[in-house]
Amino acid sequence: MLYIDCPYCGSRGHEEFTYIGDATKKRPDGAETSDPAWFDYVYLRDNPRGPHLELWHHSLGCREVVKVLRNTLTHEILGAGRPGDKIALPDAETER
Protein backbone atom coordinates (compact mmCIF):
# COMPACT_ATOMS: atom_id res chain seq x y z
CA MET A 1 0.00 0.00 0.00
CA LEU A 2 1.11 3.56 -0.68
CA TYR A 3 0.66 6.06 2.10
CA ILE A 4 -0.13 9.57 0.92
CA ASP A 5 0.24 12.42 3.36
CA CYS A 6 -2.99 14.35 2.82
CA PRO A 7 -2.58 18.00 3.92
CA TYR A 8 -5.87 17.82 5.81
CA CYS A 9 -6.35 14.22 6.95
CA GLY A 10 -2.75 13.14 7.48
CA SER A 11 -1.26 9.86 6.30
CA ARG A 12 -3.82 7.68 4.50
CA GLY A 13 -3.72 4.61 2.32
CA HIS A 14 -3.86 5.13 -1.42
CA GLU A 15 -7.13 3.22 -1.81
CA GLU A 16 -8.92 6.26 -0.35
CA PHE A 17 -7.61 8.33 -3.26
CA THR A 18 -8.50 8.57 -6.93
CA TYR A 19 -5.76 9.33 -9.41
CA ILE A 20 -6.42 12.47 -11.45
CA GLY A 21 -3.30 12.90 -13.57
CA ASP A 22 -0.21 14.89 -14.33
CA ALA A 23 0.17 17.94 -12.08
CA THR A 24 2.68 19.73 -14.29
CA LYS A 25 0.22 20.60 -17.06
CA LYS A 26 -1.07 24.16 -16.90
CA ARG A 27 -4.42 24.88 -18.47
CA PRO A 28 -3.98 27.49 -21.23
CA ASP A 29 -5.60 30.85 -20.77
CA GLY A 30 -9.27 30.78 -21.78
CA ALA A 31 -8.57 33.26 -24.59
CA GLU A 32 -5.94 30.98 -26.08
CA THR A 33 -7.03 29.98 -29.57
CA SER A 34 -4.02 28.12 -30.91
CA ASP A 35 -4.66 24.43 -31.45
CA PRO A 36 -1.16 23.24 -30.49
CA ALA A 37 -1.47 24.79 -27.03
CA TRP A 38 -4.75 23.00 -26.35
CA PHE A 39 -3.57 19.79 -28.00
CA ASP A 40 -0.58 19.81 -25.68
CA TYR A 41 -2.75 20.45 -22.61
CA VAL A 42 -5.34 17.80 -23.44
CA TYR A 43 -3.28 14.99 -24.94
CA LEU A 44 0.47 15.24 -24.49
CA ARG A 45 1.90 13.65 -21.37
CA ASP A 46 5.41 12.73 -20.36
CA ASN A 47 5.92 9.21 -19.10
CA PRO A 48 8.88 9.67 -16.79
CA ARG A 49 10.75 6.83 -15.15
CA GLY A 50 11.30 8.29 -11.71
CA PRO A 51 9.75 11.18 -9.78
CA HIS A 52 6.48 12.40 -11.21
CA LEU A 53 4.27 15.21 -9.96
CA GLU A 54 0.66 14.16 -10.02
CA LEU A 55 -2.74 15.08 -8.65
CA TRP A 56 -4.78 12.71 -6.52
CA HIS A 57 -8.30 13.29 -5.27
CA HIS A 58 -8.95 12.23 -1.68
CA SER A 59 -12.35 10.99 -2.72
CA LEU A 60 -13.09 8.89 0.36
CA GLY A 61 -11.63 11.40 2.80
CA CYS A 62 -11.70 15.17 2.80
CA ARG A 63 -12.49 15.40 -0.95
CA GLU A 64 -9.54 17.69 -1.50
CA VAL A 65 -7.10 17.52 -4.37
CA VAL A 66 -3.61 16.58 -3.24
CA LYS A 67 -0.44 17.12 -5.21
CA VAL A 68 1.85 14.12 -4.87
CA LEU A 69 5.42 13.53 -5.93
CA ARG A 70 5.65 9.82 -6.68
CA ASN A 71 8.48 7.78 -8.07
CA THR A 72 6.89 5.86 -10.93
CA LEU A 73 9.63 3.22 -10.76
CA THR A 74 9.60 2.39 -7.06
CA HIS A 75 6.16 3.82 -6.15
CA GLU A 76 7.83 5.71 -3.34
CA ILE A 77 5.83 8.77 -2.29
CA LEU A 78 8.41 11.54 -2.06
CA GLY A 79 6.16 14.38 -1.00
CA ALA A 80 2.61 15.64 -0.88
CA GLY A 81 0.90 18.96 -0.48
CA ARG A 82 -1.89 21.21 -1.64
CA PRO A 83 -2.19 21.82 -5.40
CA GLY A 84 -0.68 25.30 -5.05
CA ASP A 85 2.33 24.08 -3.08
CA LYS A 86 5.77 23.80 -4.61
CA ILE A 87 7.17 20.33 -4.19
CA ALA A 88 10.84 20.20 -5.06
CA LEU A 89 12.03 17.33 -7.21
CA PRO A 90 15.05 15.47 -5.84
CA ASP A 91 18.25 16.95 -7.29
CA ALA A 92 19.79 13.80 -8.72
CA GLU A 93 16.65 13.08 -10.67
CA THR A 94 16.16 16.54 -12.19
CA GLU A 95 19.64 16.37 -13.75
CA ARG A 96 18.63 13.47 -15.93
Partner 1 sequence: MADLASPQRRSALEGVLVPGDFGATPFNGPGILLSERGPLSVVQIEAGTEDLTAAAGNALGIAPSGMPNEAAGTGRPRILGTGTGRWLISEPEGRDLAAHLRASLPESAAVTGLSHARVCLRLSGRDARTLLAKGCGIDIHPDAFRPDTSRMTSLFHCAALIDCRSAEPVYDIYVHRSYAVHLFEMLLDGALEFGCRVA
Interacting residue with partner 1 among 2, 5, 9, 40 (CB under 8 A): 9
- In angstroms, rounded to a whole number, what is the distance separating the alpha carbons of residues 35 and 23? 21
Site string for partner 1, 43-72 (x = CB under 8 A): ----------------xxxxxx--------
- In angstroms, rounded to a whole number, what is the distance separating the alpha carbons of residues 61 and 45? 28
8 binds partner 1 (CB under 8 A): yes
DSSP H or E run through 21: strand 18-22
Q: Report in angstroms how near the CB of residue 7 gets to partner 1 at its nearest.
A: 8
Cα torsion 85, 89, 90, 91: sign: negative
Give the binding site for partner 1 (CB under 8 A): 1, 7-10, 12-13, 15-16, 59-64
